[in-house]
Structure 1
Amino acid sequence: MTKLASDTAMIMAAGMGKRMRPLTASQPKPMVRVAGKPLIDHALDRLHDAGVANAVVNVHYLADILEAHAKERVSPKVVISDERSGLLETGGGMVKANAQDMLPDPFFCCNADNIWLDGPRNAFADLSTRWNPDEMDALLLLVPHDQAVNFTGKGDFYMDPQGKLKRRVSGRIAPFIYSGIQLVSHRLLRDAPEGAFSTNILWNRAIEEGRLFGAAFTGLWFEVGTPQAIAPTEAALRRG
């Protein structure tokens, strides 16, 4: 069994879920049910299956509902990073949790609305096998287009044979899609902006320094960003 690079994952769960309206009018997006359970439980169950012991869940929109649900978990053990006073976006959310000593070095990070089916290895083992802290500030789990269900975009990254990443060129298609799952070094968070900001700012610096890498996912990944994506996702999950 692959030794994991970290025993902790941060789950990004604080967003407003605007694209999932009207389902998010009275509940946070991570509580929207797909295939019989809330979206966040799909992510937490995958952490449990992989052997990740701890989860840091950030909360903002309708935070009481999400916090009460997440704290019921035994495995992984959940702690809450409270963003009720102000939404910090993905980068700011990681910086705040790290400032509270919630995140070891390195740590996994994944979006609360991720649904995926693992391939020969689980997603966190895929990242752990590829991880090299001497070369990498972050390692992103990437999905080829033919393994991305419901995805209609142009992709996000090009990846060279060594795994180094570059952004998609405007007007072109990039072969790899960011899955919402990554393995992050504290080095990525150094000298970060204050307040709310996107992780893209930190990724861009890492790209310039040649320290943003990718690993191709060996399983199947589902884009579940809108209510219309739920039914086809459930159908695909039933097929296994």
Structure 2
Amino acid sequence: MRALLLAAGIGSRLRPLTNTTPKCLVTVHDRPLVDYWLDLVFEGGIERALLNTHWLAGQVRAHVENSRWRSRIDLVHEDELLGTGGTVLANRDWFGAQPFLVAHADNLTDFDVAGLIAAHNSRPAGCIMTMLAFRTDDPQSCGILELDEQNRVLAFHEKVENPPGNLANGAVYIFEPEVIDDIAQLGKKVVDLSTEIIPNYLGRIFCVETSGYHRDIGNPESLRRAHSEFKHKPRQGGGG
């Protein structure tokens, strides 16, 4: 299976840090975020990864060239950001006709990649994608999920004042190839997965809750908390 790691974000909420550092190279315990992701996916069974670049792309390119995983990484540059769905569509040939993983690589996480792939392979009939979910301590800032008895997503509550629970969308997905066809049918280059695509699949999304760590580090407070909370996690060996 191949994976798209969405890494082109500008990181405006982390300024001034991201004025000179791409968001995917922001460090947690002196280690760039993207290195955690590369170890995670490749050690979890992903054969090849694609990173999209935009802001300060030269730094990302230089970093990847020095990664121990460099022979299994492809880069694609976006002069103008295409949105999460637009990036999937623009690289449809790279995915081939197989299921593929898509992740917002601005989260710090240690979810079980192999377990998510296995769950997707045994998902309930009719489901076209599998979504990672996590328990959040700030449900008002997340997309909160409602599930049925088979863990299919029945409803999203996106950043509402009183959400019904704390099970949140982790922004990691495994898509069947048909999802790209649905993106293409919108007839435009810039597409957002979370607002324009995923809500169309209610009842056909299998949800898998991670028992591990998962936090968006997109603002200074979240980054501070990640430094505090993640320090007792074992550091994965190797490169980066």
The reply to whether TM is greater than 0.5 is yes
Root-mean-square deviation (CA), in Å? 2.2
1:78 partnered with 2:73: yes
Q: CA deviation at 1:50?
A: 1.1
Asked whether the equivalents of residues 123 and 217 of structure 1 are also in contact (C-alpha less than 8 Å), the reply is no
Please tell me whether residue 41 in structure 1 is matched to residue 35 in structure 2: yes
Matched, 1:94 2:82: no
Alignment of 1:11-90 (within 5 A): 11-75=5-69, 77-84=72-79, 86-90=80-84
Structure 2 residue 128 is matched with structure 1 residue 137: yes
Counterpart contact for 2:133–2:170, Cα < 8 Å: yes
SS of the aligned residue for 1:190 comes to: helix
Q: 1:46 Cα shift? A: 0.8
- TM-score of the aligned structures, taking structure 2 as reference length: 0.84
* CA separation of 1:215 and 1:46: change in aligned 2, threshold 3 A: same
SS in 2 for 1:52: coil
Counterpart for residue 3 of structure 1: none
Paired with 1:103 and 1:40, the residues of 2 have a C-alpha distance of: 24
User: 1:219 — aligned with what?
Assistant: 212
Which residue of structure 2 lines up, in the alignment, with residue 188 of structure 1? 179
| Cross-structure match for 1:160 | 148
**Stretch moving more, 127-136 or 229-238:** 127-136
The amino acid across from 1:167 in the alignment is F
Instruction: Judge conservation of contact 2:132–2:170 (CA < 8 Å) in 1.
Output: yes
**Contact between 1:154 and 1:173, CA under 8 Å: does it hold in 2?**
no
Using the TM superposition, give the Cα deviation of residue 216 of structure 1 relative to its aligned residue in structure 2, in angstroms. Answer: 1.1
- CA 1:89 to 1:124, structure 2 compared with 1: closer, same or farther past 3 Å? farther
TM-score between the two structures when normalised by the length of structure 1: 0.84
> How far off is 1:28 after superposition?
1.3
Secondary structure of 2:172 counterpart: strand
**Which consecutive residues of structure 2, in runs of 5 or more, have no partner in the other structure?**
234-240
CA drift at 1:10: 0.5
Tell me, what secondary structure is at the counterpart of 1:167?
strand
How far has the Cα of 1:159 moved from its partner? 1.4
Question: More deviation in 185-194 or 72-81?
Answer: 72-81
How many pairs are equivalent? 224
Distance (whole Å) between structure 2 residues aligned to residue 178 and residue 140 of structure 1: 7
**Runs of 4+ that moved beyond 4 A:** none
Percentage of matched positions with identical amino acids: 22
- Give the Cα–Cα distance (whole angstroms) in 2 for the partners of residues 73 and 136 of structure 1: 36
Q: Which structure's residues are more often helix, by fraction?
A: 2
Cα offset, 1:89, TM superposition: 0.9
Aligned to 2:168: 177
8 Å CA contact 2:14, 2:220 repeated in 1: yes
